[in-house]
């Protein structure tokens, strides 16, 4: 009987230990669930803030310059499980209603790029280039002097290339004349 009582006490102790372990596991599971819910709520808040800032950013861009143009859009979607990020950007007008063109003209560029999850630095580079392009576009739309300077710079470059080609052609002709001259004198002699 004493042995049975000892076994019962031992089994009771084991049951209590297992119960304690089960309670700890359940408690940690609840904590993990709460932290996961908090993380999901935080992600949702960040997504809303990102969407709001994106909308306000492009609304601010559209409000600059004269004339109306199509809205600009940019999106980045991450598909879970595939490890692939789809970056799609679309940029619209260029010199719309400016002094450069008599009619309304538009320049549109759309690109779709698939990036793997281990290449997110490409996404950062694309975003930087995108921001630079938008700021340069706004500068071109708002400042007429910038447009004049760029056009003058392009004209100077083309003239410089033309002068280089023309001078190189003259140098070749002079070399040909110098080469032909001694041959004629030798033949006359």
Residues 155-184 pLDDT 10s: 898 888 888 888 877 777 777 776 665 555
Q: How many C-beta atoms lie closer than 10 Å to residue 89's C-beta?
A: 19
- Please determine, for residue 79, whether its predicted confidence score (pLDDT) is greater than 50: no
Token code pair at residue 91:
């940029």
pLDDT of residue 119: 52
CA atoms of 113 and 106, how far apart (whole Å): 23
109-116 and 84-91 beta bridge pairing: antiparallel
- Residue 101 contacts by C-beta under 8 Å, 6 or more apart in sequence? 95
pLDDT of residue 154: 85
CA atoms of 114 and 110, how far apart (whole Å): 14
Average pLDDT score, the chain: 68
pLDDT of residue 111: 39
pLDDT of residue 179: 63
The mean pLDDT of 143-157, rounded to a whole number, is: 83
Answer with the residue of higher pLDDT: 72 or 138. 138
Query: If we measure between CA atoms, which residue out of 120, 52, 59, 53 comes closest to residue 86?
Result: 120
Most confident stretch, 79-93, 132-146, 155-169: 155-169
pLDDT of residue 141: 74
CB 182 within 8 A of CB 105: no
Long-range contacts of 120-128 (CB under 8 A, 24+ apart): 120/85, 123/76, 123/85, 123/87, 126/87, 126/89
pLDDT in tens, 17-74: 998 888 888 888 888 888 888 888 888 888 888 888 877 777 766 665 444 444 444 4
pLDDT of residue 129: 79
Query: Which stretch of 95-99, 130-134, 153-157 has the lowest confidence by average pLDDT?
Result: 95-99
CA atoms of 133 and 82, how far apart (whole Å): 30
pLDDT of residue 10: 87
Asked whether the CA dihedral 175, 178, 179, 184 is positive or negative, the reply is positive
Token code pair at residue 187:
């033949």
CA atoms of 13 and 7, how far apart (whole Å): 10
- Please determine, for residue 88, whether its predicted confidence score (pLDDT) is greater than 70: no
């Amino acid at each position: 009987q004493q042995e049975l009582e000892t076994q019962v006490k031992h089994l009771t102790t084991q049951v209590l230990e297992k119960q304690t372990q089960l309670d700890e596991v359940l408690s940690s599971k609840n904590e993990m669930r709460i932290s996961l819910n908090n993380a999901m709520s935080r992600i949702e808040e960040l997504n809303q803030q990102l969407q709001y800032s994106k909308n306000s950013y492009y609304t601010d861009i559209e409000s600059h310059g004269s004339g109306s143009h199509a809205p600009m859009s940019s999106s980045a979607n991450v598909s879970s499980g595939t490890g692939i990020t789809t970056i799609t950007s679309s940029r619209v007008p260029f010199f719309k209603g400016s002094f450069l063109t008599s009619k309304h003209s538009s320049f549109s560029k759309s690109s779709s790029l698939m990036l793997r999850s281990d290449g997110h630095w490409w996404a950062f580079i694309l975003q930087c280039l995108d921001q630079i392009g938008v700021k340069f576009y706004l500068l071109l739309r708002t400042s007429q002097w910038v447009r004049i300077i760029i056009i003058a710079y392009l004209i100077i470059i083309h003239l410089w290339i033309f002068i280089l080609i023309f001078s190189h052609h003259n140098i070749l002709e002079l070399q040909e004349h110098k080469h032909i001259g001694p041959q004629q004198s030798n033949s006359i002699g």
